[in-house]
Structure 1
Amino acid sequence: MGSIEDVQTILKQESAKKALVFTDKGVAGAGLLDKLLAVLEHCSVDYQVFDELKPEPAYGDVEAVVEQMNRENGDIIIAIGGGSVMDAAKLCSLLKGSDYTVKDLLDNPLLASKQLKTVMIPTTCGTGSEATCNAIVAIPEEQSKKGIVNAEMIPDYVILDAQMIAGLPASIVAATGVDALAHVVECYTSKKATPLSDTYAAAGAKLIFRNIEQAYKNPSDMEAKNNLLLGAFYGGVAITGSGTTAVHALSYPLGGKYHIPHGVSNAILFAHVMAFNKDACAERLAQLCDAVYPEQSAGSGEEKADYMIERIAAIVKNTDIPTNLEAFGVKMEDLDFLVDAGSRQQRLLVNNMKELSLEDIRSIYLNVLKED
């Protein structure tokens, strides 16, 4: 708690004279931005605030923010917010003064190099954006989302301060926490998993599995919330090492067309995708179970894999996240669109240990279109 004060050290180290501050109206309205601005004013550092970004923005929304930013001088970027804010700030760190656009980076993400250093201060406990080289934007004409991946976007500094999530609504704790849980489980079961990504994914999984329900049910439990914040950061490190898989791939059309919050769409799909994947990654799930729930160590590998999938489903249920798409207006006649759009997310699908045919994708979406 209180580590936001460390921004002073960063500003001094970087000899910063003016900060470009990225946030959104919700963060500002909750008073969290004031904590940062007080630090900047104490350091006599000038600043310009950009707070018009929409949640889960389209690439055009980010380009509008870039245009605003390019009218200002600044020597460091500070993002205080959730994943959308941090992703936009990371893109802006590449696009400051450039003659290319976010849309250009969708076609060729390696066009860009970092122009300004970045400081990330997450205000949710789940996106992991503060540790990744990814930025996700919606593509309205495709009614889906896409990730821009460039190692230049890895943040230079990260401030993890639990006071930033002290007043987070329970529904956001749930959605962002399950998003972080998906990160660590998907990374641990990814084709591209490495010993390094495994280390962070397992550590993050233990923190999130063991704390998310308590953080949701008891908002005053700051130890549980702090553990979620750290677990989400570990998940972001793991993503940079290995990448997510089919849960995230199939969730992108749900966010892009139906504007279902990212963490919620992941949560709805999570257990179904892992159950589909089980025969290809049971050993990995069992290893993860040993790391998270050593009290289950006497069980067989299959029993431990089943236990992890059961825990995922239970966490979604216990945090009151919807378990199907009925509440979001997704109809059975939308199935063909979902299958086509989901199958196009090859950047992530290639990481999945089990190949998904069009019929496999259709079956998973059918599971979440039907009523429980």
Structure 2
Amino acid sequence: MKQYQLTIPAITYAGQGSIEKITEIIEREQVRSILIFTDKGVRESGLTKRIEELCSKNSYTVIDDLASEPSYQDVERVIEETRGASIDFIVGVGGGSVMDASKLASIVIGAEYSVRDLLQDPTIAKKYIKTVMIPTTCGTGSEATCNAIVAIPEKQSKQGIVNNCMIPDYVILDADMINHLPPKIIAATGVDALAHVVECFTSKKATILSDTYAKEGACKIFHNIREAYADAANMDAKMEMMMGAFYGGIAITGSGTTAVHALSYPLGGKYHIAHGVSNAILFAHVMEFNKDACADRLALLCDAVYPEKYNESVNVKADYIIEEIKDIVDKVNIPTNLEELGVKAEDLDFLVEAGSQQQRLLVNNCKELSLDDIRYIYKKLF
């Protein structure tokens, strides 16, 4: 029999008001000095206020000047701000970029290597500081993964640093943290989370362990994203989205995303298109391209999410999942044409070359992509 591995956060708290568990965590870990990673938008919205109050019995420092979609230099700069400080616990409060930076800080603060070094060889990483991740969106799944994504300006693209040392020690999924999340952010991060579960389920590296989380995450996201986007007061739908995103993060750690994410990285790296938006633009096109190699997997996913379709053919069920993806992107008002986002058709050669370099993810895709295949997919976005 095959062997499988799935590494997940040690302790996860979920539900409204679970942010109060920070006190319990601090006591359990005998924390003395805390570093809180966030961004100015999250802090100015008041989302860190209660967290800072709960940490106030200890020495704590807040870093809130991380750039959105940060480069590895941005992350190194904010980590440098901690030089000389004695830190024994990190709290990451924000979206994917903030949590990724928090995880990198946990393996770089106190180390002789840098973030740049990890881009060359992530296996050298060692965890120095324990972490708790508190997402303020419902989509990145970073709170559950061993990945950190940074921009590489000199390559006009992005790259993932992957090492199990970055798996968070604690996660808090509190729906109050997304109570006032703008619909635009629910849309982008929610479709990103949907891409995670569908890509992981159709990945070459999918396992019986990752499948469990991918299917459950898909059920939660397919059935709640439209409601969470359209009705700001629907906290049940938002909580389901948070859980679905978390399950998607676990699925990533056990399986891995594929060509949707691979081809989205140049869009974020060069044009600074939000990660979730770039994934949404590519999502249905990549799944249509992949369909002949993964129709059976899409049909199994359809059985899990839409059991009423069980007696339909494999082809019908695969098409239904793809049509639902299209409908969701349409209903949450994400642009589907790159020219609307400032990308020009003459940039196609750059996109093809940069996308083809994302082999860490492309090798997971159920269907091998040639340069012509990548060009074909990108051309459909104009």
Whole-angstrom distance in 1 between the partners of 2:295 and 2:17: 41
Selected match of 2:22 from 7, 31, 48: 7
Residue in structure 2 matched with residue 93 of structure 1 by the alignment: 106
Question: In the aligned structure 2, how far is the partner of 1:329 from the partner of 1:23?
Answer: 29
- Equivalent AA in structure 1 for residue 27 of structure 2: K
- Pairing of 1:48-59 with structure 2 (within 5 A): 48-59=61-72
* Aligned-residue offset at 1:116: 0.2
- C-alpha deviation, 1:98, in angstroms: 1.7
Q: Which residue of 2 aligns with 1:27?
A: 42
Q: How far is the alpha carbon of 1:172 from its aligned partner?
A: 0.1
Q: What are the superposed Cα offsets for residues 54-108 of structure 1, whole Å, 9 maximum, x if unpaired?
A: 0110000000011012232111000000000000010000011222111100000
Residue 171 of structure 1 corresponds to 184
Q: Which moved more, 1:64-73 or 1:315-324?
A: 64-73
> 2: CA distance between counterparts of 1:173 and 1:48?
29
Q: Which residue of 2 aligns with 1:213?
A: 226
Cα shift at 1:18: 1.3
Q: Indicate the residue corresponding to 1:226 in structure 2.
A: 239
Q: Distance in 1 between matches of 2:373 and 2:274?
A: 24
Q: Give 2:331's aligned residue.
A: 318
**Could you say which residue in structure 2 is the equivalent of 1:40?**
55
Alignment deviations for residues 305-341 of structure 1 (CA, whole Å, 9 cap, x no partner): 0000000011000000001111211111100000000
Shift of 1:216: 0.2
Q: Which amino acid aligns with 1:143?
A: Q
Please give the secondary structure, in 1, of the residue aligned with 2:79: helix
Residue of structure 2 equivalent to 1:249 = 262
CA distance, structure 1, for counterparts of residue 243 and residue 110 of structure 2? 34
Q: Which residue of 2 aligns with 1:204?
A: 217
Which TM-score applies when normalising by structure 1?
0.98
The residue aligned with 2:355 is 342
**What do residues 338-367 of structure 1 show as CA deviations (whole Å, max 9, x unaligned)?**
000000000000000000010110010000
CA distance in structure 1 between the partners assigned to 2:300 and 2:250 by the alignment: 19
- Identify which of 133, 136, 143 aligns with 1:130: 143
CA distance in 1, matches of 2:318, 2:84: 53
For residues 120-171 of structure 1, give each alpha carbon's deviation from its aligned partner in whole angstroms, at most 9, with x where no partner exists: 0000000000000000000000000000000100000000000000000000
Unaligned runs of 5+ in 1: none
Q: Distance in 2 between the 1:79 and 1:195 partners?
A: 30
Segments of structure 2 that go 5 or more residues without pairing to the other structure are 1-15
* CA distance, structure 1, for counterparts of residue 40 and residue 76 of structure 2: 18
Q: CA deviation at 1:35?
A: 1.6
Question: SS of the counterpart of 1:201?
Answer: helix
Query: RMSD of aligned C-alpha atoms?
Result: 0.6
Where does residue 199 of structure 2 map in the other structure? 186
The ranges of structure 1 where at least 4 consecutive aligned residues each deviate by more than 2 angstroms after the TM superposition are: none
Larger RCO: 1 or 2 (CA < 8 Å, sep 6+): 2
- TM-score scaled by length of structure 2: 0.95
State how far apart, in whole Å, the 2-side matches of 1:321 and 1:204 are: 21
**CA separation in 2, counterparts of 1:360 and 1:188?**
22
Which residue of the partner structure matches residue 297 of structure 1? 310
1:285 paired residue number: 298
Indicate the residue corresponding to 1:61 in structure 2: 74
How is 1:345-364 mapped onto 2 (pairs within 5 angstroms)?
A: 345-364=358-377
Give the letter for the 1:53 counterpart: L
Q: The residue matched to 1:32 in structure 2 has which SS?
A: coil
Q: How far apart, CA to CA, are the structure 2 residues paired with 1:252 and 1:274?
A: 17
Q: State how far apart, in whole Å, the 2-side matches of 1:58 and 1:192 are.
A: 28
Match of 1:21, SS? strand
CA distance in 2, matches of 1:25, 1:95: 23
What CA distance in whole angstroms lies between the structure 2 residues aligned with 1:9 and 1:62? Answer: 29
Q: Which amino acid aligns with 1:241?
A: G
Distance 1:348 1:74 in 2: 34
For residues 171-229 of structure 1, what are the alpha-carbon distances to aligned partners after superposition, in whole Å with 9 as ceiling and x for unaligned?
00000000000000000000000000000000000000000000000010000000000
